[in-house]
Amino acid sequence: MKLTAKLTLLFVLLTTLPLSLVGYLAFTNGQRTIHQNTVSLLVSINNLKKANFIDWIENKKDRLSLFAKRPLIVEFSRILVSPGNKNTVEWQNASRKVTDEHFKVSIEGGGGFFELMILRPGDGMIVSSTDERNKFKYREDQPFFKKGREGTYVQNAYYSLSMGQALVTVSTPIKDEKGNLVAVLAGNLNLDEITSIMMQGSGLTRTKETYLVNKFNFMITESRLKPGSLMRRAIYTEGAKKALSGKSGVDQYTDYRGEQVFGAYSWLPEYELAILTEIDVSEAIAPVLAFRNRMITILILVILLVALIGIAVSRTITGPIRKLMTGIEEFGRGVLDKRIDVPSADEIGQLADTFNRMADERKRVEEELQKINKELEGFSYSVSHDLRAPLRAVSGFSNVVLEDYGDQLDDEGKRYLNLIVKNTSKMGNLIDDLLKFSRMGRTDMAFSTVDMKKVAMSACKDMKLVYDDREIEMSLNSLPSIRGDSKLLHQVFSNLISNAMKYTEREEVGKIEIGSKILKDYVTYFVKDNGVGFDMKYVHKLFGVFQRLHSEKDFEGTGVGLALVQKIIHRHGGNVWAEGKVNEGATFFFSLPVKE
Amino acid sequence: MRKAIGFSVIIFVLLLLVSCSRQEAPVPFDKVTVQLKWVHQAQFAGLYVAREKGYFAEEKIDVEFNEGGSNIDNVGEVTSGNAQFGITAPEHIIRERLSGIKIRAIAVVFRRNPLVFVSKKGSGIKRPADFLNHTIATSKDSRVQLQAMMEKLGLDSNQLKHVPYDRTYKSFLNGDIDIQSRYITGSVQQLMSAGYKFNIILPSDYGIHLYSDTLFTTDKLINSDPDLILRFLRASLKGWRYAVENVEEAVEITLKFAKEKDRELQTKMMEAQLPLIHTGEDQIGWMKAEIWEGMSKLLLEQKVISEPADLEKVYTMKFLEDIYGKMM
C-alpha cells in the first residue's frame, strides 16, 4: 500500500473508531430513554383517559341518580306507571311536565344525555321519553332495564336497532320515600362523546390513539386510524386479549391494522371495558432513527474530512519523498545536473541536501574521469599513430636488407630478419586494432531504428566469406528492431559471429544460434556457439583489451574484438555478458535499452 | 449470539417442516355444500368472504353454496345430504325438530330479526296500537310475529284489515295498503335512499325477539364429524367478522356471486344487516337460551307448534363455546 493511503487510513481509523463508539453508546442510550419515555407516556395517557372516562361516566350516573331523587319526578313517575287510561288529564299532564320541565331542560342544559326516559318497572314499557317516537316501546329484554331496577347501571355500547345507532345507556331506579321501586329512569348517551374523550390530544401525534373495547372484543369508540371501526371492528390483539383477561400493562405487539405498536392496556371491571393506548413503533422510535441518521451523516462527513486532512498531511510527507525519488531516478539515468529542491528542514529536507551534495561530488568525479579518459584516449591514439611510422621504417628497412643484402647473410641471419618482418607486421595489426578501439570512443554515433535481423544477416554473410572453408550451421531467430547506430551494431554482430566461427574451428559442424529476448525496458540479443567455450572463472577477463583466454597458437587474434563489442554496447547504454563452459560452447549476450 | 442460534433453530425447524410436508401426501379437503336461505346476495356475505379470503381453505374445506328459493326445501336439502349445512329461520328448525327431523342450530348469523312493519310517514301509524282499523299486508312468515305482537300488547287483531300482500310497493305507495311487512335489509333501504319516508315499527320494540338466519346441520354430522363442523363454523364466523369490519370489500366479494350486480343495493343491504349480525352484545354467531326459550314459547302461544320444544335438541352451543370460550 502507498504511504498516502496508509496514512489516510490511519487518520480515518483513529478518528472514526472512538467517534463510532461514542455514537453507538449515545444511540443505544437514546433508544433506551425514548423507549422508557414512550412506555411511561403511553401508560400515563392510558391512565389519564381512563380517569377521564370514569369521571365522565360517573358524572352521568350521579346526574341521573340525582334526577331520580327529585320529588316531582317520583311523583310524576308514580302517575305515569299506574295502570289505566293514558288519556286522563292527570296522566297527560304528568307526561308533559316530566319531559318539558325536567328532561328537556336538562338535555338543553348540556347534561350529556340525548334522550331521557321513564320505564315501567313491570314490563319495561317506556312511559315517557324526550323522543316521542320511543314512547310505549318495550325494553324489557335490555340489561339497563333489568339491572336499572336494582341500582344505577351503565349498559355500555350496544347497537340499538330501534334507534338506528350505537349508544350507551345509564339507568337508575326511581324510588318513593319508603324505598319502593316506582319506575326506572334511563338516559341514552352518545358514543361519539366517549370517542371525543379518547381522541382528545391525540392529534399531536401521527399514530397515537386511545380506544375502548368491550368484552366481546368490539371497538366501541371510533378509530382515528381506521374510521368506521366503531362497533364494527373486533380487536383480537395481544393488548386487547390481556386487557380483557383483566390485566394491565404495556407491551409491543401487532395491532388491528397489522402494524407494530407499543400499547398500554388496562381493564375497567366496573364497566367491563378495556382501554388501550397505542402508538406505532415506527413513530415512537422515529426520534431514535433520526438521531441515528444524524450520527451516520456526521460520521460520514467526519470520515471525508479526516480523509481529506489525511491526504493533505501525507502529501506533505510523500510529496518531497516522491520528488526525491524522481530526482534520484533522473540522476540515475545520467542527468548529472539534476538537483532536488526540498526546502523543509526536516529529515527529508536533510536527505535531499545530502543527495544534492553527493550528486555534486559525483558530477565532479565523473567530469574529472571523463577528462582523464579523453586524455587517455588521445594519448593512446597518438601513441599508436606515432608508433606506426617507426614500425613501418623497421619493417621497410628489414625488407630492404633481405632483398639487397640477402646473399651476404647466412641462413640464420635471414631467418632473424624474416622474424623481424613478421613481428613488425603483427605489431602493425595490434596498433591498427588499438587505433580502431580508441577511435570507437571518439566517433559520433548516428542513431536510427535498426533492423537487427537484417544487420545480423549481413554480418553472417560477411563472415561466411571470411571463413568460406568452414561448414557452419546457422540459425537466425527473430530479432526485434531497436534504436542504435547500424554500422556499429553491424560491427558487434560481425565480431561475435567471427568469434563464434573461430572457436568452433575444431568442431566438425559449427553451430551458431542468434536470438533475442524482449524484457520490459531492454532487448537482449545473444550469439550462441558450440565451440570450445571457456571457464567461467575467467569471465571477467573476456571483455578486456588484449585479453585472451586461449593461446595465439590455438586461435589467432589480437584480443580487441570483444573489448570493442563491449565499448559499442556501452555507448548504446546497454550491457554485455557471457556464459560458457569449457568444451561446451559459449553464449554472448548484449542488451540494448528500448527507447521511444 | 443467542439470537443467531434461535434464528438458525427456527430456520432448521422450518426446513424440517417443509421437507416433512413435501414427503407427506397433501391433506385431503373436505367437500362441503351450504344450502343458502335465499339467492346469492349480501345476506350471505360472510360466507363468500370466508371462501374468497381462503378461510375455508385454511380449515381444509372446499366449500360450495347452493342458492335457495321459494320452491327449495332448505332443511330437506341438508337432511338428504345434498348439503351439509343450511341457513334457515329458527322457527323453521324448531318446527322441523318437533316433527322428528334431526337437525340442530349451531350458530345464529342474524341475531335480530330483520322483519319490520312500515307505514308512510305522516300516516300517523307509528306503533302497533295505530294498526287497528287500517289495511295491512303481511307476508306469510310475518303473520306469526304480527299476531304475537298484537296479543302481547293486548290489541284485538280482529280489528286489522288484512289485504293481499304485494311484493312491489305499488299498492302501498298509492295508498291501498297502509301497513306492510318488509325486511329492513331489503327494499326499505332502497326506497328510503330514493327519498321515501317511512315509519318503521320493529317487533323487537314490543317484546317480540326472534332470531333470524340460523346455521344448522344434522345430528348425524354432529355425531360423526364434529371436527368438520368446528372448522366450518370457525371459518364462517371469521368471514363474517371480516365482512363486518370491511363492508366495501365484502360487497365487492358478494358481487362475484350475486346475480343482482347492483353495488349500491348490496351495500345498503350489507350496512342494514350489520346491527343484526353484530349487536354489540356477545360475539358474532352467539346464541342465548332465553331467546330460544322465548321463541319456543311464542310459537307455542301462536299454535305454530302444539307442544313445547326440547330446546336441548334444537340448538347446540358446543361449537360456539369451543370457538369463543364459555361465556357467562
pLDDT tens by residue, A466-516: 887 888 888 888 889 898 888 889 989 988 998 888 888 888 888 999 999
Distances (CA, A) of B144 to A567, B91, B96, B255, B305: 136, 10, 17, 33, 12
Phi, psi angles (nearest 5°) of residue A48: -65, -45
Q: Are B166 and B177 in contact, with CB atoms under 8 Å apart?
A: yes
What is the structure's pLDDT at B10? 53
Domains A69-194 and A445-593 share a fold: no
Tell me the shortest Cα–Cα distance from A233 to chain B, in angstroms. 5
d(CA B272, CA B202): 14
| pLDDT band of B287, cuts 50, 70, 90 | very high
**If we measure between CA atoms, which residue out of B73, B74, B76, B108 comes closest to residue B90?**
B108
Q: Which CATH superfamily is domain A445-593 in?
A: Histidine kinase-like ATPase, C-terminal domain (3.30.565.10)
Alpha carbon A560 to chain centroid, angstroms: 64
Q: Are A583 and A550 in contact, with CB atoms under 8 Å apart?
A: no
**At A262, which amino acid appears?**
F
Q: Do B204 and A166 touch (CB under 8 A)?
A: no
Q: With contacts defined as CB-CB under 8 Å, which chain A residues touch B279?
A: 158-159, 161
Residues paired with B87 in a beta bridge: B215
* Domains of chain B as residue ranges with CATH: 30-112+211-324 (3.40.190.10), 115-206 (3.40.190.10)
Query: Long-range contacts made by residues A349-355, C-beta under 8 angstroms, separation at least 24?
Result: A349/A320, A351/A324, A352/A320, A352/A323, A352/A324, A352/A327, A355/A324, A355/A327, A355/A328
CATH code for the domain defined by A356-438: 1.10.287
| pLDDT band of B49, cuts 50, 70, 90 | very high
B111 at A interface, C-beta within 8 A: no
Name the residue facing B280 among A123, A141, A159 (closest C-beta): A159
Name the residue facing A158 among B209, B279, B284 (closest C-beta): B279
Q: Quick one: closest CA in A to B325, which residue?
A: A216
Q: Are A459 and A488 in contact, with CB atoms under 8 Å apart?
A: no
What is the structure's pLDDT at B21? 47
What is the structure's pLDDT at A152? 92
d(CA A519, CA A589): 13
Q: Which residue reads 574529472 in cell numbers?
A: A368
**If we measure between CA atoms, which residue out of B209, B172, B205 comes closest to residue B191?**
B172
Q: Average pLDDT of B250-271?
A: 87
Question: What does the domain layout of chain A look like in residue ranges?
Answer: 69-194, 195-286, 356-438, 445-593
Q: With contacts defined as CB-CB under 8 Å, which chain B residues touch A136?
A: 127, 129
What is the structure's pLDDT at B1? 44
Q: Tell me the average pLDDT of chain B.
A: 85
Q: Give the number of residues written for chain A.
A: 596
What is the structure's pLDDT at A596? 56
Q: Average pLDDT of B132-159?
A: 87
Within 13 Å and on the Cβ side, how many CA atoms surround A120?
Answer: 16
Which residue of B151, B278, B282, B288 is the best one to mutate when testing the A interface, meaning the one whose CB has the most A CBs within 10 A? B278
**If we measure between CA atoms, which residue out of A523, A526, A434, A433 comes closest to residue A484?**
A523
Q: Are B111 and B211 in contact, with CB atoms under 8 Å apart?
A: yes
Which residue of A137, A154, A223, A273 is the best one to mutate when testing the B interface, meaning the one whose CB has the most B CBs within 10 A? A137
Q: What angle do CA A38, A40, A43 make, to 5 degrees?
A: 105
| pLDDT band of B25, cuts 50, 70, 90 | low
Tell me the shortest Cα–Cα distance from B83 to chain A, in angstroms. 30
Q: Domain A195-286 is of which CATH architecture?
A: 2-Layer Sandwich (3.30)
Name the residue facing A233 among B245, B279, B283 (closest C-beta): B245
**If we measure between CA atoms, which residue out of B168, B165, B175 comes closest to residue B134?**
B175
What is the Rg, in whole angstroms, of the alpha carbon atoms belonging to chain A?
A: 61
What is the structure's pLDDT at B64? 92
Which residues, 6+ apart, have CB-to-CB distance to A89 below 8 Å? Answer: none
| pLDDT band of B11, cuts 50, 70, 90 | low
When comparing pLDDT for B215 and A395, which is higher?
Answer: B215
Low-confidence ranges of chain A (pLDDT < 50): none
What is the structure's pLDDT at B2? 47
d(CA B164, CA B138): 8
Name the residue facing B278 among A137, A141, A218 (closest C-beta): A218
Q: Domain A69-194 is of which CATH architecture?
A: 2-Layer Sandwich (3.30)
| pLDDT band of B8, cuts 50, 70, 90 | low
Q: With contacts defined as CB-CB under 8 Å, which chain A residues touch B129?
A: 136
ipTM of the predicted structure?
0.80
Highest-pLDDT range among A195-204, B115-124, B184-193:
B115-124
What is the structure's pLDDT at A303? 85
**At A42, which amino acid appears?**
L
Q: Do B283 and A217 touch (CB under 8 A)?
A: yes
